[in-house]
Each structure stands twice: as structure tokens, then as C-alpha cells.
Amino acid sequence: MHALGVASYGQYAVAVACAALVNAALDNVFHVRALRASDDVFLRERSARVLLAIVVAAIGIACYREWFVVGFALLLAAGEMLFDAAKSSTLRRGRPDSTMRYDAARQVASIGCGLTGLLAVDSPTVAQIGLYYLLPYFVIGGYCLKYVAGHRPAFEATPRSAITLTLESLAAAVYIQSDVIVVGWMAGDTVAGYYSLASVAALALSTIGQNYANTFIDRMREAGGRLSAAPTVGETLSIGLATGAAMTVVAVGILAWGGADYTGHVALVLAVFVAARTVDHSFILLLIVQNRDRVRVRIGVMSSVAKVAALVSVTGPFGGYGAATVTTLCEVAAAIALYRAVHHHIGETLDTPPPGRSGAVR
């Protein structure tokens, strides 16, 4: 950001947000099914997942030179699809510690490649450095080719299930990424750059809740999604409070350092978002294991529509501060809705009861 400027970072942030939308539309159904499908089905669908990612990457390459945001978004989405395919077997075994190490290694590699580009290229542009940043994904793509050999590509989800999971994922992606996109659209690339710095930190901290919940996947699946096998509310709230406090420390540190007060103030508002989002991850994962997809879709779509409508109304006059406030309030409302769905059984019974079981999971 120092070398390219805040505005260029804003372009990059908007492209990353768009990549999340593409990834949500194409990859979430594979991600969810990888957690609960049989081994044979998992291997066949992983092969199809890799082939689809390669097609998306080819389109991104064709678009990159003329339309950076579009090309980068497609290449990044394809890279994440490939990376998620590579991690999927580890995640199935309930080992988020291993997947976190893979994530960290990939991130370090991308940052290292990006820094190399900054040093090697005279007067670099965001498009040039973007290619350097994407280099590790090409290596991952080559590694994933082994998942295609020997496994017939297949996608065995029912149309209804696939549509439900895709809508749920799109709603979630719009919900998470819409603030950055709307800020870039209504307040400009520079404000989007400052806002995105706080947003990225908030989302990174909140994934601690997801990784914690992932350690319960095997136990929850074997128990048919019963609450007794899931993290307790007390444990989940404790982790949420800890991540929210960590985000507050980050915000105070930014303000104390100086030079990016806008980011620091936004980060303070988003500290509450981090706590709520951390808690939500546990509820969402339990609903996934219970096959209560329609509940998640309903909550996700309603939250996304409300958030986008509020962002469009508020971001113009209040900029990033307004967007952060809307984002936080919507996350708290989603947490309440998810809690009621999980612990008071608001919604419906299982879409597809686990083998040997019938009715709602209690």
C-alpha cells in the first residue's frame, strides 16, 4: 500500500471482495458437501471442483489485461477454489490447525511474491503486483491436478440442494463483502482502502471462531448434529469476547501509532462485529452438520438484503463510519437469529435426517 497508494489498495480490496462473491457462487456447495459426503462421493466431487476452478482461471487470464478488477477477481476465486480442494481432506478429518498452517504458508508466499514484484518492477502498477501475488495459486493448481487423475468428475447434489447451498453462500458473501464494495462505489477508492484495512483485520480475527468450531466436526457428524456434541454457548461466547477484545487492541494500536486514524476508528466500531461474527461461526457450522440449509439461507438472505439496503442509504453521507456501524448492527441481529434457530429450534426440522434418524435434531 505504501508503494502503490491507498487508492490502488482500494482497487485491490474491491477486486478481492468481488472474488469472494464468485467463490461463493461456485465453491460453497463443494465445501459444504465435502464435510458430510461419503469418501467416494467426496473424491469424485473434488475432481469436478478442480476442473471447474481451472475453467474460471482461464477466463480470468483472458480478462486480466483489460479489466484488472474482473480478471484478478476471477483468478483469485479460482485459486481459492483450488486451495480449498487441496485442504478439503484435512478439514474433513477435523484438523483446522493443519489448514491454518497451510493458509499461513500460502499467505506468506503471496506476500513474499508481491514484495519481490515491488522490488523487481520499475514504477509498478496494482495489476503487475497482483500477478506476483497470485503466483502461489498457480503452484497450488499444478498440485491439484493429481486429484483429477483416477477419479471420475461428478457432482451428485440434488438440484434443490445445490441451489439452496449456492443461494446461502451468495447471501453470506454479499453480506460479508458488500460493505467494501459499496464503500468503494459510493465513497471512492481511497476511503475503501482505509476501510478495507480494518475490515480485513476484523474478518481474520473472527475466523478463530470458525476454526474452533471446526474441531467439533467429526463429533457433531457422528452424533447426527445433536447440541450435546457442539461447542457450548459459554465456550462460544468466551471466544467471541476474546476476539472482540483483540480487535479493540488492534484499533487502539492503530490510533496510537498515528497516520491512519480513519482505519483505527472504523476498527473500533468493528470490534463488536468481530465478537458477534466469531460466535456466529459455531452456530452456522452446527446448522450445516444438521442439514438445516433452508434455515441458514433464510437468515442469510434476509440479513444480506437488509444490510445492502442500509449501506446504500448510509454510506453516502457517513462514509466508512456509517458502513462499519451498519455492518456491526446486522451481525448482532444475525447472531440473535442464529442462536434462536440453533437453541430454540426456530425454522424447520432437518432437510435430510442423518442415517438411522428422523425428525428434528434436538
Q: Which of residues 112, 135, 157 is at a domain's end?
A: 157
Looking at the structure, tell me whether residues 149 and 195 fall in a common domain: no
Instruction: Select the more confidently predicted residue: 282 or 325.
Output: 325
Looking at the structure, tell me whether residues 179 and 230 fall in a common domain: yes
Looking at the structure, tell me whether residues 322 and 336 fall in a common domain: yes
Looking at the structure, tell me whether residues 223 and 270 fall in a common domain: yes
As a whole number of angstroms, the longest Cα–Cα distance in the chain is: 65
pLDDT beyond 60 at 347:
no
Q: What is the 3-state secondary structure (H, E, C) of the chain?
A: CCCCCHHHHHHHHHHHHHHHHHHHHHHHHHHHHHHHCCHHHHHHHHHHHHHHHHHHHHHHHHHHCCCHHHHHHHHHHHHHHHHHHHHHHHHHCCCHHHHHHHHHHHHHHHHHHHHHHHHHCCCCCHHHHHHHHHHHHHHHHHHHHHHCCCCCCCCCCCHHHHHHHHHHHHHHHHHHHHHHHHHHHHHCHHHHHHHHHHHHHHHHHHHHHHHHHHCCHHHHHHCCCCHHHCCCHHHHHHHHHHHHHHHHHHHHHHHHHCCCHHHHHHHHHHHHHHHHHHHHHHHHHHHHHCCCHHHHHHHHHHHHHHHHHHHHHHHHHHHHHHHHHHHHHHHHHHHHHHHHHHHCCCCCCCCCCCCCCCCCCC
pLDDT-derived band at 4 (thresholds 50, 70, 90) equals low
Tell whether 90 is covered by a domain. yes
Looking at the structure, tell me whether residues 246 and 182 fall in a common domain: yes
Looking at the structure, tell me whether residues 149 and 167 fall in a common domain: no
pLDDT-derived band at 358 (thresholds 50, 70, 90) equals very low
Looking at the structure, tell me whether residues 65 and 96 fall in a common domain: yes
Looking at the structure, tell me whether residues 174 and 56 fall in a common domain: no
Tell whether 174 is covered by a domain. yes
Q: What is the pLDDT of residue 35?
A: 74
**Host domain of residue 227:** 163-354
Query: How many structural domains compose the chain?
Result: 2
Q: What is the pLDDT of residue 139?
A: 93
Q: What is the pLDDT of residue 360?
A: 40
Looking at the structure, tell me whether residues 191 and 297 fall in a common domain: yes
Q: What is the pLDDT of residue 76?
A: 95
Residue 274 · residue 329 · CB < 8 Å: no
Task: Give mean pLDDT, residues 99-120.
Answer: 88
Tell whether 85 is covered by a domain. yes
Residue percentage of the chain with pLDDT more than 70: 91
Looking at the structure, tell me whether residues 152 and 175 fall in a common domain: no
Q: What are the two backbone dihedrals, phi and then psi, of residue 5, each rounded to the nearest 5 degrees? A: 100, 155
Tell whether 360 is covered by a domain. no
Q: Which of residues 157, 172, 198 is at a domain's end?
A: 157
Tell whether 49 is covered by a domain. yes
Distance set, CA 13 to CA 182, 191, 358 (Å):
12, 11, 45
Tell whether 361 is covered by a domain. no
Tell whether 241 is covered by a domain. yes
Q: Which of residues 121, 137, 157 is at a domain's end?
A: 157
Residue percentage of the chain with pLDDT more than 90: 31
Looking at the structure, tell me whether residues 12 and 114 fall in a common domain: yes
Q: What is the pLDDT of residue 356?
A: 43
Q: What is the pLDDT of residue 3?
A: 58
pLDDT-derived band at 353 (thresholds 50, 70, 90) equals very low
| pLDDT per residue as tens digits for the range 145-187 | 888 887 787 777 778 878 877 887 788 788 888 888 898 888 8
Average pLDDT, the chain: 83
Residue 111 · residue 57 · CB < 8 Å: no
Return the minimum-mean-pLDDT range out of 100-114, 137-151, 192-206, 333-347.
333-347
Q: What is the pLDDT of residue 51?
A: 92
Task: Give mean pLDDT, residues 60-65.
Answer: 92
| pLDDT per residue as tens digits for the range 283-323 | 888 888 777 778 877 888 888 899 999 999 999 899 999 99
Looking at the structure, tell me whether residues 128 and 107 fall in a common domain: yes
Residue 271 · residue 325 · CB < 8 Å: no
